Structure 1
């Protein structure tokens, strides 16, 4: 058992423990050869490890330490000085950082400010850039592996060592070990870690740094792995100008994550927010939902709340002819704008005519348009027309006001009653016959719209 005062590798005298985790323990030690303080990490191996596997892990630890040593001159990387073997266990000798980890800082003082998190972002991006250029993938970026020194400097530690010892990964038997919430989705699915995985782990680290919570932490390691692979992180609330960066780093598709140069550009405070967002790879446009014919409407017991003023204030065209009719006096707008502008206005005019015809004649098209583009039913008066948009999934839909010439028009308002219902017998409610629609009136009063189907659809109505 390791004890204080023990000499490691015939050179490093253990002074006191600095911390421990699932993969080992870090000590402050004295390099008796150079008479200088160092940090030395003991990597624990499972006690039942077979001889061949133990030898392979020792070789792997030595190889990874050598790789990390390539970055010894980088200001944002904890320098690795040496790797030694004591009692068949690997020990990694590193630069002693006077300070603590980002994890400890967050636990003691809470989330970072946006500016402080931006400083951490820049330092870690530069450290990862140096590593990736040297062919090194960290695979274990997390707050516990980010050091904050006494002067506020940011350093990344444990390059590839803990990851290669199955920390944050899957063992050969599929048992989850380590800090699963900081894995990349591809590693959570059992794929080999690549440089893009470090950027996802950085995104998770930065999210926690500004929000104060890990976006993918769940009650169990299996739950965390599932969250990493399939759940979207909640939208950041405190990230400010870092939101575009964090959002892009947390892309599930590794090909959509930014390159480090792009990520650094997103950090530029002189760049307007809209410019920072345009650095992101554009998403594929979503296909419009298939048009649905209106189903038999169900009477809502709650009054329809008014929609935004912008929608309800939009003027309602009276007929397709009104929309499409060109001016007959003077020079046309298209002709007065020159060749190019005239052609454009001509095409615009044709498009307006086609859309107006479709909206007035094609019921499926009009139904689709009516799902989100029409007026507040609360403002409907006698003679106006309304349309029922059936709910779909979790979307809140219902009655909307539409132009009476629209093919989507299903009902006409016969009467608007203030504070009293329409007296429609229960036997005809919730059918395609006469309806009453509760809406909000002045002073939050409940009014009722008494509506009936369009005349051409009302052949079965006996009133």
Structure 2
């Protein structure tokens, strides 16, 4: 009996909602659609060469996109892929390959983590127990240490970019706007000092999530490890309280709130409060560092290694 003929490859086409069973690059067979939106598509796929499951993330490029914007998006995707490729950490999602030649957008081939984002977990459960949040914090802080050691700033740490697997593993993902550090310590401190001056206007266009954006980034300062530290603090705040520390109706209003409003209290934080408060200091020069936060989180965590977060009734989060 002859084997059925495989469907034709879809390489060079959009990985749309109706592509189940098709091959990408004559290697990756699409199994299940995880996400589909205007900016991208994520599929679970089977690597038929190495016989393992992977995640395929395509950055969709509109046909009417200006050429300069298309080049920028391709460069951002490649930059994020290269940042991921530098890393070898149990707390960071692994990238296996990038397939850049498709006409509708590059495709990242990545480690598949079966689970949910921390944002989804908090949405479904509300604020999480302090010990579990501290364990998640250990994992994210450990990931950021690895990121910073290779000279990269993540720039978009938030609950939606923290994956929590059904087996308790926690991994940082989405390095799409990560970049190499450019400012020296002295230059970063001077830029941050100017940004903190009263009446300083919001600066150039900023990429990232406003609710987790460090004040100095909103003011146009080059990113550095302190900006990721702030975002870690915002992520811990959201995980334990069930909502971000800053949120307004528009991105501009949120930026100004981050810059000008005091950090709200975190009544559920308990032993986490000193860490959250230290990370959410407006001045980057006075802000708690990621290594210091990691040292403070370990004694609070249910798992001081950060390798397995446990929640009551925690099920495998498969579809």
Is 1:19 the counterpart of 2:35 in the alignment?
yes
* 2:97 counterpart (58, 82, 95): 82
Is 1:44 the counterpart of 2:60 in the alignment?
yes
Instruction: Map 1:397-412; keep pairs closer than 5 Å.
Output: none
Give the number of equivalent residue pairs. 260
Is 1:31 the counterpart of 2:61 in the alignment?
no
Gap regions ≥5 residues in structure 2: 1-13, 180-202, 301-319
Cα distance in 2, alignment partners of residues 129 and 136 from structure 1: 10
What's the offset of the Cα at 1:20? 4.7
- Superposed CA offset, 1:86-114 (max 9, x none): 22411111110111110111111111100
Counterpart residue number, 1:229? 259
| TM-score when normalising by structure 1 | 0.53
Contact 2:15 / 2:58 at 8 angstroms: preserved in 1? no
Greater Cα offset, 90-99 or 57-66: 57-66
Instruction: Map 1:388-427; keep pairs closer than 5 Å.
Output: none
Contact 2:177 / 2:207 at 8 angstroms: preserved in 1? no
What's the offset of the Cα at 1:157? 0.5
Cα distance in 2, alignment partners of residues 35 and 75 from structure 1: 21
Greater Cα offset, 224-233 or 9-18: 9-18
Contact 1:78 / 1:95 at 8 angstroms: preserved in 2? yes
Larger Rg: 1
* 2:212 counterpart (165, 179, 182): 182
Structure number with higher relative contact order (C-alpha < 8 Å, ≥ 6 residues apart):
2
SS of alignment partner, residue 107 of structure 1: helix
Cα distance in 2, alignment partners of residues 163 and 46 from structure 1: 23
| Cα pair distance change 1:63/1:219, threshold 3 Å | closer
Cα distance in 1, alignment partners of residues 121 and 178 from structure 2: 23
Contact 1:147 / 1:154 at 8 angstroms: preserved in 2? yes
Contact 1:22 / 1:178 at 8 angstroms: preserved in 2? no
Instruction: Map 1:249-398; keep pairs closer than 5 Å.
Output: 249-269=279-299
| TM-score when normalising by structure 2 | 0.75
SS of alignment partner, residue 255 of structure 1: coil
Counterpart residue number, 2:134? 118
Gap regions ≥5 residues in structure 1: 165-172, 271-463
Instruction: Map 1:180-219; keep pairs closer than 5 Å.
Output: 180-219=210-249
Contact 2:138 / 2:298 at 8 angstroms: preserved in 1? no
Contact 2:237 / 2:266 at 8 angstroms: preserved in 1? yes
| Cα pair distance change 1:103/1:241, threshold 3 Å | same
What CA RMSD, in Å, does the superposition of the two structures yield over aligned residues? 2.3
